[in-house]
Structure 1
Amino acid sequence: MKLPFDIPENKKVRLMINTDAKNEADDQFAIVHALLTPRFKNKGIIAANYSNGAAMFNRTENSMQASYDEIEKVLSIMNLNGHVPVYKGAKKPISDETTPERSEGAEAIIREALADDPAPLYVVFLGPLTDLASAYLMEPKIADKLTAVWIGGGPWPAGGWEFNLFNDPHAANVVLQSKIELWQVPQNVYATLRVSIAELAYKVKPYGEIGNYLYQQLVDFNDWAATAILDISWPKGETWCLGDSPAISLLLDDHDSGYEIKPAPRITNNFHYEHYQNERMIRVYHYVDSRYTLEDMFAKLALNYGKY
């Protein structure tokens, strides 16, 4: 990448991205943002399933493979094939809270967590927590060797249905009950990352083949969803939510006044939070700076693909 600056080595962190990339249209923006960011030592991208939600969208029978293919497409457009490992995650949610879904993605998380590397490891989850829960069930020793950032879960304190949680509630309970350091960005917070299609046409589309692709795939999905999804309130027509992007910006600036440390809840059968203990604590965000998040991504696209 051709940014006019680098950062000190001791400020860099290891990053793995777990993404249901073909679910809709925002994961791709977060992936590209991460790949353009010098703070990150990108250690791999894991394709996640969205099996429960795939039936809602009626788009694929193998959601993990669709995510994998989309990751490969983004890397190819950026001429980064072979530069960042891509792994296949679980094909479906875990069946209960004790049985992992083994995959090369879960194995990659274990391998990286146990690696002899002093740089902190962060694994961001832009979809369900299937592969993290599976990795933990396969090797509990990883619990104190990584930080997980999850875009998911309903608003605090009640919770409720939310797409990423819906795709594997058992996995969420495994992680919530583990000792893994967890940063949660719930639905009402990630939903604040609103952009207009006009803004994307102006600040994303002109910048390289990848900028054009990011813009066009979102427009195409927006057009498809307007007639395919029987919900008159979504999509809205001229706006979108880049809700996965906070997973990237919070690793650049963790917004130390934007979160609270709370006891981890348990997820009930109707996706609400059951508050039952006061020992296992997690970080729950109530604020993400949308201006900072989006403008950093826009600037990195412009600096890499603009005419300077």
Structure 2
Amino acid sequence: MLKHPFDIPESKKVRLIINTDAKNEADDQFAIVHALLTPRFKISGIIAAHFGTLRTDHSMEESYEEVNKVLELMNLKDEISVYKGAKQAFPNEQTPELSEGAEFIINEAMKDDPSPLYVAFLGPITDLAAAYMKEPAIADKLTALWIGGGAWPEGGFEFNLMNDIHAANVVFRSTIPLWVIPQNVYKMMRVSIAELAVNVKPYGEIGNYLYQQLVDFNFDVVNKHIPTMVERARQAGKEVDPKDYEGWPKGEMWHLGDSPVVSLLLDDHQYGYEMKPAPRITEDMHYVHYQTERMIRWYHLVDSTFTLQDMYAKLKLHYG
């Protein structure tokens, strides 16, 4: 069992479920590890999420394997339960993709437990929408955080949203308390590879893995993933120019875009958000502003220094 070097009052702790498309890129792993090293969180479980079909037909299974690998490196595989989420997106807004991950959300939400429950989504929001459609009573028993969506007020292309627009619309029109950390905000989590080499790589097997898998992914994108995406698009009858991907990744930097879910649960950044009426999302991922009753928390700022320094400090405290 992981022992934290300090503790906080029990009344300040919260239950947390992490829903993660962990094998999509290289940033989910940092957020998962950061959360596991945080005394405030009582991690109820981790749900593996799909990340579409651009690169593979087995994205959820790959995420499941990656989550277990991270837990194994931290010697926590027997301590944290991992659940399989939906294998794919909703086919429409009336047909949920049920999964053991969605069932787990329902079961945890309906528990008689005084600790607040938060569910953090680092990829598509499929499993929350499915859980809500099966059991609407969960809406007033949890708070959801979602890394996803384009910038307010227009919206636009964003990867996590692209992977299940239907589910996002279900959640947006629900009554679930929702914190949205959109693309323009999560991209504030800018780090350099040199910074990670100094502050992450030296600290335990997990620190070395976090650093190395990001470096390796940098090469995999160029040498493997982009050619695969281009070929799969062509097989589906779509022409994709490889030059469309030339700007990503940039080479010496990355966005640890999933990490805000940790820091916002340590301090909710009251200066960093506004309550906004939930829009409807179109097929091309733009926002239609049609109502003023359903309000959600929309972030326009996250403190990247606070987030990163907390993660670095916890790695050093545990593995220094």
Question: What TM-score results when the alignment is normalised by the length of structure 2?
Answer: 0.93
2:284 to 233, 252, 270: 270
Deviation at 1:279, TM superposition (A): 0.1
Deviation at 1:226, TM superposition (A): 2.8
Match of 1:69? 65
Match of 1:36? 37
Number of equivalences: 301
Q: Which amino acid aligns with 1:244?
A: D
Counterpart mapping for 1:138-157 below 5 A: 138-157=134-153
Question: What TM-score results when the alignment is normalised by the length of structure 1?
Answer: 0.96
Match of 2:174? 178
Cα distance in structure 2, aligned partners of 1:16 and 1:150: 12
Match of 2:250? 236
Structure 1 gaps of 5+ residues are none
**Matched position secondary structure for 1:251:** helix
1:208 to 197, 204, 208: 204
**Matched position secondary structure for 1:250:** helix
Q: Which amino acid aligns with 1:18?
A: N
Q: Which amino acid aligns with 2:34?
A: H
Cα distance in structure 1, aligned partners of 2:106 and 2:161: 22
Match of 1:295? 309
Structure 1 outlier segments of 4+, above 4 Å: none
Cα distance in structure 2, aligned partners of 1:29 and 1:224: 18
Counterpart mapping for 1:106-117 below 5 A: 106-117=102-113
**Alignment deviations for residues 168-212 of structure 1 (CA, whole Å, 9 cap, x no partner):** 000000000000000000000000100000000000000000000
Establish whether residue 17 from structure 1 lines up as the match of residue 18 from structure 2: yes
Match of 1:47? 48
**Matched position secondary structure for 1:257:** helix
2:120 to 120, 124, 128: 124
**Matched position secondary structure for 1:64:** helix
- Identify the range of structure 1 (93-102 vs 256-265) with the bigger mean alpha-carbon deviation: 93-102
Match of 2:233? none
**Alignment deviations for residues 226-280 of structure 1 (CA, whole Å, 9 cap, x no partner):** 3343311110000000000001110000001100000000001110000000000
**Matched position secondary structure for 2:65:** helix
Q: Which amino acid aligns with 1:255?
A: H
8 Å CA contact 1:2–1:303 kept in 2: the answer is no
8 Å CA contact 1:94–1:130 kept in 2: the answer is yes
Cα distance in structure 1, aligned partners of 2:159 and 2:283: 14
Establish whether residue 88 from structure 1 lines up as the match of residue 84 from structure 2: yes
Deviation at 1:2, TM superposition (A): 4.1
8 Å CA contact 2:5–2:318 kept in 1: the answer is no
**Matched position secondary structure for 2:119:** strand
**Matched position secondary structure for 1:97:** coil
8 Å CA contact 2:8–2:40 kept in 1: the answer is yes
8 Å CA contact 2:161–2:168 kept in 1: the answer is yes
Deviation at 1:287, TM superposition (A): 0.2
Q: Percent identity?
A: 70
Cα distance in structure 2, aligned partners of 1:247 and 1:253: 10
